[in-house]
Amino acid sequence: MRGAKLRVVVAYRDRLARFDLILLPTFETKELSAKSRCKIRAKSVRAILGYAFFRFGQRLEAVAKRVGKVVLRVNEAYTSKTASWTGEIKSIGGAKTITSNGLTVDRDINGARGIFLRALVDTPSLRHGRVCVGACGQA
C-beta separation of 61 from 104 below 8 A: no
% of residues, the chain, pLDDT over 70: 68
In this structure, the answer to whether residues 14 and 80 fall within a common structural domain is no
Total H helices, total E strands in the chain: 6, 4
Range of the domain at 107: 76-139
Do 56 and 81 fall within a single domain?
no
- pLDDT mean over 30-39: 55
User: Do both 17 and 65 map to the same domain?
Assistant: yes
Least confidently predicted of 37-41, 52-56, 115-119 = 37-41
Distance CA 31, CA 53 (A): 13
Domain boundary among 32, 51, 74: 74
pLDDT in tens, 9-21: 777 777 788 888 8
pTM value is: 0.62
Of 59, 74, 89, which closes a domain?
74
Are the beta carbons of 121 and 79 closer than 8 angstroms? no
pLDDT for the residue 49: 64
**Which residues are CB-contacts of 115 (< 8 A; sequence separation ≥ 6)?**
23, 25, 74, 76, 79
